[in-house]
Amino acid sequence: MTPVQAYTLRLGDDCLVLGQRLSEWAARAPTLEEDVALLNIALDLLGTARSLLGAVGDEDALAFLRAEPDWTNALLVELDNGDFGRTMARQLLVSAYQVPLWAALASSTDPVLAGVAGKAVKEATYHLDHASAWVVRLGDGTAESHARVQAGLDGVWPYAAELFETDPLVESLVQQGITAAPAVLLPVWQQTVERVLAEATLTVPESSWRPTGGRSGRHTEAFGYLLAEMQHLHRAHPGASW
């Protein structure tokens, strides 16, 4: 696998795993309208994942036949949904990262990443709008909704740091103009998240714990269950379609 492919796979894994997580809300969202909205976001992410995985290899093999240590998504996207507040808090943190990421990648020197990013940035902008709207309403809502979205935010917050980690792979791609440096994306993310949390009357969590390992295949316990649900059909009935 070339360095660009390895990096493309990371981004694709982020989208696929978060899309799978969000799709768990199907028929369980607070309202019918929100059910459709969450699944729209899940399908956007699935579509982006398909383009990215397809550029790396066989998308079905990569999605359904890869073992846990071979997945390179960040831990944040695999965390369990928790309640609606936690799901929206996680979505805010991810989308606030993906918007500047896709915007930067749209001018990548890699044609695949640039093409995917040009479409994904519009979708991510809407995801961010949706998550922000809910975080503000829950945070600045009732005492119950405030407490629950704050608890959800506190739970997912430490995992956001991994999105902005750098390593030799990322550094080499930054130098080639293929992607943007995490250090450039971080202040944009901070500004977006802090603005939304301030409007939501939520407290920015403070955490010195920075769980990491997703990019090198060391995942959380929750991820095994997600993979089992996502992969069991294809593994039991290879090539099944309907």
Selected binder of other proteins within 34, 83, 140, 154 (CB under 8 A): 34
What is the DSSP secondary structure assignment for residue 214, as one 8-state letter? G
* Least distance from other proteins to the Cβ atom of residue 58, Å: 29
Note whether 130 binds other proteins by CB under 8 A: yes
108-113, long-range: CB within 8 Å, 24+ apart, which pairs? 108/177, 108/178, 108/179, 109/176, 109/177, 109/178, 110/4, 110/8, 110/178, 112/4, 112/8, 112/51, 112/52, 112/55, 113/4, 113/8, 113/11, 113/178, 113/179
Q: How many residues bind to other proteins according to rule CB under 8 A?
A: 12
* Least distance from other proteins to the Cβ atom of residue 31, Å: 6
Q: Letter for the amino acid at 31? A: T
Region from 26-34, 78-86, 103-111, 198-206 binding other proteins, contact rule CB under 8 A: 26-34
37 token code pair: 């909205």
Selected binder of other proteins within 28, 58, 65, 137 (CB under 8 A): 137
Instruction: Give, in order, the Cα–Cα distances in Å from 148 to each of 79, 151, 205, 224.
Output: 16, 5, 14, 26
Selected binder of other proteins within 33, 142, 168, 206 (CB under 8 A): 33
Region from 19-27, 57-65, 113-121, 128-136 binding other proteins, contact rule CB under 8 A: 128-136
Region from 86-94, 129-137, 188-196, 233-241 binding other proteins, contact rule CB under 8 A: 129-137
The binding site for other proteins (CB under 8 A) comprises: 31-34, 36-37, 40, 126, 129-130, 133, 137
